[in-house]
Amino acid sequence: MPNTAYILLILLLPLFGFVLLGLFGRRYIRGFSGVIGAALLFVSTLCALYVAYNYFSGNAGMPALRRTYTLFGATWLSFGRDLSIDMGILIDPISAMMIVVVTVISLMVHVFSLGYMKGEERYSTYYAFLGLFTFSMLGLVLSSNIFETYIFWELVGVSSFLLIGFYYDRPTAVAAAKKAFIVTRFADLGFLIGILILSFQAQTLDFGWLINNLSSFEHSPFNEPPVFLGLPLVDWGLILVFIGGAGKSALFPLHIWLPDAMEGPTPVSALIHAATMVVAGVYLVARLYPLYTLTRDVQQVVLYVGAISALLAAIIACTQTDIKRVLAYSTMSQIGYMMFALGTYRLFPPSLVDPKIGFIGSMFHLFTHAFFKALLFLCAGVIIHLVHSNEMKDMGGLRKRLPLAHICFLIACLAISGIPPFSGFFSKEDILSAAWRADKFIYAIALFTSGLTAFYMFRLYFSVFWNKPATGHPHAQPLVESIPLVILAIGAAFAGLIPFSHLLIVGGHVHSTIGRNAVPPVLIALLGIGIAAWLYYKQSDRPQKAAAAFRGLYTAAYHKFYIDELYLFVTKKIIFNCIGRPAAWIDRNIVDGLMNGLAVATARISATIKGIQSGKVQDYAWFFFVGIAGLAILFIYIVR
């Protein structure tokens, strides 16, 4: 695997773009910033494709050789003989897949933004931030140890913050950026503590050794693992790391930042908040998959958090009216899908030979989802540019004016709904069959969510492109905006045909599961589409009636199940009143009071006794004499 130079190039070109555009963009090369950024990323993408092609095809005859490579390991920070933080590059099937996803989607977004962001005042800053994000995301994906991952994890967090708040003159964007940063930071606290626990238990930070040491630790019958509150410490570490992942991946109950993050420019939503950064949590769990499958408890946490997020987000998505918010909830729902698929391993009946199907499904869905969700967002960007509104009621009948976006949007909707032969069908199929074999209840949730997904996506599709009579002539769309749509549409349509399970599993023999199990999801998706068509194909009062029929649920879902309000209640009322205020009182009165009291007491005492320092020699002689006399009396008469 002698591709180290290429891999470094993949990683460093976006960073170079960031430095170049960040330092000189505004002053000197303003007009070309976009072209420069896109060109650098184009080279980077070519390298990524080459590396991935080499990796997956090079050992085609001997899949067993498709192993994990650690390239370029260097000690970055040494704390002593046993502890050091290294920097390295890890290439294994999932990171090879991820570099392709990240660079391709990022390139599409770069190219799309050439048209979309044209004329923006901070055009070059925008491209600099995109470069920073791409670099950080690639670094996260390629990290060879968990602390390095954490560093890049924070870097993607900060670039996400910068891009959400890109329109910093809008108060809502500033609030959204702040919210995203605080919520994910809060979750990252869990991640950091988790890292500390895991690395303390394993005595290493390196992924390979971490997995190795902790697995043997868990299996060893000799030493009882340390237990805290009924769970082994390792499990606590894994759950804390999972909390970090859940925060970044917008899983329930840490999802509240994602819908607000849609305040950023739409291509940014496509790149960061749909295709790449938000799947970092899934990627992290997949990276530590051998550890997450060690115990049933951890698996169940992953499983239920994923399933609840998927269902909840799908229900909320059905009621939202802002096109980008619908897509945001849809993203959350799909990530929930990927996540619970990673939690199915332990629940398989022991007779089953290959329980890794959940893992494959999850990664496959991550791959296909990146394409169709980025496509949906970019189409949404085109639509929003045309109608200058995010609200669905301002749209309708756009099929004549945006023929290309119409076709692409339809392809993406079919893909996400899981209609064969589009890509989503295959990846969802893997996830659903994993759920079917693991737990019938989860399967039911997943199936229902799948129907809901089809419903809300086609609700969106019909309300945007049909609903009203089509008028007008095709809107002239710049070529730089059309090409990414076409490429992504091809990806969304055909990515499912990639024999993914053969690529991911070393020497694995996973059967493709397309069979009888595939029928119910397709039927339920068609049902969802049918209902959406019935409600939204033509303008009517049916949606209102339907909403009235489910009044309670509709209102609750429309208000996002009041989770934001709950958070506000907890933070403002409970934390602020019960913790913040007493803490402030203690700080002001006890901590400050102690210090002030000391100062006042010192001043008082010195004011009282400073008369002793009279400067008169004879006074001092008196003190001396009295002291001597006192000592003499003491030693002669009292002490003896």
Q: Which residues bind another protein (CB under 8 A)?
A: 610, 613-618, 621-622, 625
**Cβ contact 115:125 at 8 Å:** no
> Phi and psi at residue 401, in whole multiples of 5°?
-80, -30
- Residue 463 in 3-state DSSP? helix
Which residue number, 353 or 609, has a Cβ lying nearer to another protein? 609
Residue 635 CB, shortest distance to another protein, in Å, is: 19
Q: Which is nearer to another protein, 507 or 615 (CB)?
A: 615
Q: Are 142 and 96 spatial neighbours (Cβ–Cβ below 8 Å)?
A: no
Of 590 and 629, the one with the shorter C-beta distance to another protein is 629
Please report the sign of the dihedral spanned by the C-alpha atoms of residue 421, residue 427, residue 432, residue 437.
positive
Question: 388 or 610: whose CB is closer to another protein?
Answer: 610
* Structure-token match 């499912």, residue found: 496
Of 576 and 623, the one with the shorter C-beta distance to another protein is 623
Q: Are strands 84-91 and 227-228 parallel, antiparallel or unpaired?
A: unpaired
Closest CA to 283 of 238, 236, 339: 339
- Rounded least distance, CB 151 to another protein, Å: 58
What backbone torsions phi and psi does residue 28 show, to the nearest 5 degrees? -105, -40
562/624 with CB nearer another protein:
624
**Cis status of the peptide bond prior to 259, with omega within 30 of 0:** no
CA separation for the pair 635, 630 (Å, rounded): 9
Q: 249, 280 in Cβ contact below 8 A?
A: yes
CA 460 to chain centre: 24
In the complex, the smallest distance separating the C-beta of residue 601 from another protein, rounded to whole angstroms, is 19
What is the smallest separation between the CB atom of 629 and another protein, expressed in angstroms?
A: 11
Q: Which is nearer to another protein, 479 or 607 (CB)?
A: 607
Record the tokens describing residue 609, joined without a space: 């006794």
Start-end of H helices in 74-145:
93-116, 123-142
CB 437 within 8 A of CB 352: yes
Q: Are 313 and 256 in contact (CB under 8 A)?
A: no
Closest CB to another protein among residues 223, 618: 618
Which one, 575 or 629, has the nearer CB to another protein?
629
Rounded to whole angstroms, what are the CA distances from 494 to 95, 262, 432? 21, 28, 20
Smallest distance, Å, CB 618 to another protein? 5
Length of the chain: 640
CB contact at 8 A, 231 and 243: no
Q: How far is the CB of 600 from another protein (least distance, A)?
A: 19
Which residue, 589 or 614, has its beta carbon nearer to another protein? 614
Residue 621 CB, nearest approach to another protein (Å)? 6
Shortest Å, Cβ 610 to another protein: 5
Left (φ > 0), alpha (ψ -120 to 50) or beta: where does 105 sit?
alpha
Which amino acid does the sequence have at 337?
A: Y
Q: Tell me the pairing of strands 231-232 and 227-228.
A: antiparallel
The residue among 441 and 620 lying less far from another protein, judged by its C-beta, is 620
Closest CA to 112 of 261, 246, 267, 251: 267
Residue 94 CA to residue 92 CA, distance in Å, equals 6
Shortest Å, Cβ 185 to another protein: 54
Output 53 or 625, the one with its CB closest to another protein: 625
Q: Helix 479-494 vs helix 423-438: angle between axes, to the nearest 10 degrees?
A: 40
CB nearer to another protein: give 81 or 610: 610
- β-pair type (227-228, 69-78): unpaired
Residue 593 beta carbon to another protein: minimum distance, rounded to whole angstroms? 29
Residue (512 or 614) nearer to another protein, CB: 614
- Minimum distance between the CB of residue 614 and another protein, rounded to whole angstroms? 6
Q: How many C-beta neighbours within 10 Å does residue 430 have?
A: 25
Of 262, 389, 278, residue with least CA distance to 327: 262
Instruction: Name the minimum Å distance from CB 622 to another protein.
Output: 6
> Least separation, in Å, of the C-beta of 174 and another protein?
57
- CB 186 to another protein: min, Å: 56
Beta-carbon neighbour count of residue 209 at 10 Å?
14
Nearer Cβ to another protein (512/602): 602
Measured CA to CA in angstroms, residue 8 lies from 13, 15, 71, 142, 628 at distances of 8, 11, 10, 10, 83
Q: How far is the CB of 613 from another protein (least distance, A)?
A: 5
Total Cβ atoms within 10 A of residue 322: 14
The torsion region of residue 474 among left (phi > 0), alpha (psi -120 to 50) and beta comes to beta
Pick from 61, 42, 58, 72: which is nearest to 1 by CA?
Answer: 58
